[in-house]
Amino acid sequence: MKRAVLAFLLTCTAIGAALEATSPPAAAQPQPQNLAQNLTQPAPRASQNTAGAGAAVGAPQMPVDTAPAATPNAPLPGETETQDALPEPSLAAQDLYDSARGDLLQIRMLLKNGRTQSTVGSGFLVGTSNLALTNYHVVSQMALDPGIYTAEYIDTDGNTGPVELMAVDVLHDLAVVRINRNGSGFFKVPEQPVRLRQGQRLYSLGNPLDLGFAISEGAYNGVLTRSFYDRLIFSGPINSGMSGGPSVTASGTVAGINVSRRRDGESVSFLVPVKHAQELLRKVAEQAAPPADFNPLIGKQLLAHQGSMVDKLLEEPLTLKGMGQYLVPVRESGEVRCWGRSNARGAVYSTDSMSCVMQSAVFVSDVQQTGNVAMTHQYIRSGTMDPMRFATLASDTFQVNNLGSTGDPRLTKPFCTERFVHTRSLPMRAVTCVRAYRKFEGLYNFTLLTASTDASQSSLQSRLDVSGVSYENGLRVTRAYLGAFGRSGRR
């Protein structure tokens, strides 16, 4: 009877999820003939973590590095600008800047209607060509919505001109553009990889905070290992607006491209290794003309990423960890990190929480990151609450409406189904929701919510979020995750 009360209350508060489906549900499957009617900005970020009891089991917030491409708006009255000022450059840096300044660019995204500035980033001319390198996220608006946005450059002498998008590499956050002038040959992008030494001096250039062109001194300090794609660690400031600018050795050899910084770090910044820029430039040299529409190309790159991501995620069985009498699946690796905490509500009940989040995601637009996996577990228990009251608490905690805006035009509305399932040793309720990407055919977001139904004074509630995957890979991950739950034998 006690179990029946809990199961009944959980059913009353949820929508539903079938894992046996072998094809995308109609409500979640994008229809190619209707895509042209829905081409707008892509989807919002994943929902935030609300891991305390009494709140929804939310997707953990990923500690994403700040992409400093878009210069933020000026502070409002009463607000303070928190960006660090650039330090005074050394004589070596000043000499390097004097030699390099003619090939530095600021790249501005403009709203076509009124030519209003939207975002700004940096770029640089490659050798003596009229091709410039920058970050994909600097030009993402023009790539995704060329009918709405255009771009222009401005150089250090104040000259301006149009920008033509030639190629993008979304996975490594790079783009090649063409402008109406040539470089002096200062910035050298070698054909071979650049070998750096730990502590070697590097100089990053760009236009920080839309204040003017500047140079920032720092040092190379290895390769970031917690990212799905490699990043060079630059111990020096990279401020907003410097994204897409070069980071070079003292001789002007490009070692990397400014891409991001840590919000919680002191001069901890990251560069895209130049080897990825070398590959993108080779593709530009081989293509007859730039794509007329970059959205299919971006979708193809995202599909390639999700295949590699899921294969790596599932190459070994998920690790099982004990939470009370339950065993829960997690994945701890170089790309995924886990955190835990406990939250006791006096003598009434307590909650232990565990969150595992992939440390990187693929930037698609300023309102969408994808190619990410997050897992959250909550173990709620009480030794004093009567079964009916605890069942009400568990039902209030198990909310299925924290899936993002259902009216978001970038994704279809959630298609949710529900089943009561029994793993090898644990009865559970499972709710699976699927949303399809409208711009990128074949990509989906999966959310799986589960709740144990075997005890009257304890409840295990979990959530899995997998973004930007094929339908088949979404099923692979959710099945592996759901099938791993069990009981530990503890009480």
> Does a structural domain hold residue 314?
yes
pLDDT at residue 460 tops 60? yes
28 in any annotated domain: no
The model's pTM: 0.79
Least confident of 13-22, 124-133, 410-419, 479-488: 13-22
Q: Is residue 405 part of a domain?
A: yes
Regarding whether 231 and 368 lie in a shared domain, the answer is: no
Confirm if 433 and 444 have CB atoms less than 8 A apart. no
Residue 345 reports pLDDT greater than 60? yes
Whether 436 is in a domain gets the answer yes
CATH label of the domain that carries residue 375: 3.40.1000
Q: Are residues 355 and 264 in the same domain?
A: no
Evaluate whether residue 358 is within a structural domain: yes
Same domain, 316 and 271: no
**What are the beta bridge partners of residue 161?**
153
Domain identity same for 372 and 326: yes
Which of 25-39, 60-74, 196-210, 287-301 is least confident?
25-39
Per mean pLDDT, which range of 47-56, 110-119, 326-335, 436-445 is the poorest? 47-56
Q: For all residues of the chain together, what is the average pLDDT?
A: 81
| Across 463-490, average pLDDT | 93
Strand order in the sheet with 326-330: 319-323, 326-330, 486-487
How many domains would you assign to the chain? 2
Please say if the pLDDT value at position 411 is more than 50: yes
Q: Which helix (H) or strand (E) holds 97?
A: helix 91-100
Lowest mean pLDDT, pick from 61-65, 212-216, 315-319, 369-373: 61-65
Per-residue pLDDT tens for 448-459?
Answer: 999 999 988 899
Are residues 351 and 343 in contact, defined by beta-carbon separation less than 8 angstroms?
Answer: yes
| Amino acid, single-letter form, for residue 375 | M
User: Who has greater pLDDT, 106 or 29?
Assistant: 106
Structural domain boundaries enclosing 435: 300-487
* Rg of the Cα atoms in the chain: 25
- Together in a domain, 310 and 256: no
Helices 2-12, 387-397: inter-axial angle, 10-degree rounding: 30
**Which pLDDT score, from 0 to 100, does residue 79 have?**
39
Place of tokens 């933020």: 72
**Does 24 reside within a domain?**
no
| pLDDT tens per residue, range 389-408 | 998 888 888 876 666 666 67
8 A C-beta contact, residue 155 and residue 132: no
Indicate whether 230 and 323 sit together in one domain.
Answer: no
Which residue, 256, 286, 316, sits at the end of a domain? 286
CA-CA distance, 368 to 4, in Å (whole number)? 41
Read off the pLDDT of residues 110-124 as tens digits, 9 standing for 90 and up.
999 988 888 899 999
Give me the pLDDT at residue 49, please.
30
Q: Which residues contact 205 (CB under 8 A, 6 or more apart)?
A: 97, 100, 104, 122, 124, 213, 214, 215, 216, 242, 245, 246, 247, 248
